[in-house]
Amino acid sequence: MPVIVIAAAPKLSAQNIAFNEVARQAITTDPDFHGGHYYDKGVVPVRGLRIARMIGHITYLSDEAMMDKFGRQLRRAALGFDFDIDFEVESYLRYQGDKFSSYFDANTYLRITKALDYFDPAADFDGDLAAAVERARAAFLVISFKSDWRFAPARSRELVKALLDARKIASYLEIDAPGGHDAFLMDDARYFGALRGYVGNIELCLPPNRRCSPRGPISPLWRAGYRRGRACSTSVAATARCSSTCGRRARRRDTGWRSTTRRWWPASRTTSTSCSSTWKAAYRCSGTAPSTP
């Protein structure tokens, strides 16, 4: 079955670890933390949780999204020249902090962020991410958002490159959306269309069964993106946009999305992948389906 990776990275950057550490310090230095035994004292480190959540929310939004949503709108009629709320963005962050601290456990937050910091699939392979994914048997769809500065597209492309170096089936979609990291939660037609197109083809191959739906037997090598009578690259753009028009002749078409491409039937009769060094937006279709090895 395919693996779908959205707005993520193979491992956290130093900047991401730094944000997590500031959030942890906000919690552990709260007088009500009591070394993690706050329930024994009948209290909760509310202040620390509030600040941790406020920090996190800033990283989830892009500068453009925050300006569009809040700008410099005032919460009250005039500047108060005090330390109460003046701007709408301040009110929003405080609201998110208050809500989060009312239901989320502080020790859980500390351990989740530490787990994120420690995660590094290449650590046991001398830092070689391609070697780390070598054993993967799934096809991959990787999606990133251009405005996401916490998990930037460059980090997603790092994963895709490793998958391609390991000769895995990988599709990549980079969406120009203004929402920052939270863009993966937004209603975006390109995002949803790509997911529908990709997920809609998952049933075409379910190893180890070599039969793929009523269309007939197909080798497990030909996964998402392939339909009997036509074939497309693993570019998710192709999966989302390919139609009967690509069943007659090979063509290359600009989709407006950045995506990898895949060669469907190399001379060796084994699946291989290729990745454009410039990550150009394109897909390929061919009217001849590959024969079953």
115-122 contacts at long range (C-beta below 8 A, 24 or more positions apart): 116/12, 116/16, 116/20, 117/12, 117/16, 117/17, 117/20, 119/11, 119/12, 120/10, 120/11, 121/10, 121/11, 122/10, 122/11
pTM above 0.75, yes or no: no
Per-residue pLDDT tens, the chain, 293 aa: give them: 789 999 999 999 999 999 999 999 999 999 999 999 999 999 999 999 999 999 999 999 999 999 999 999 999 889 999 999 999 999 999 999 999 999 999 999 999 999 999 999 999 999 999 999 999 999 999 999 999 999 999 999 999 999 999 999 999 999 999 899 989 888 888 899 988 888 887 765 444 544 433 343 333 333 333 333 333 333 444 333 332 223 223 333 333 333 343 332 233 333 333 333 323 332 232 233 333 33
Give buried/exposed letters for 255-282 (b at 16+ CB in 10 A, else e).
Answer: bebbbbbbebbeeeeebebebeeeeebb
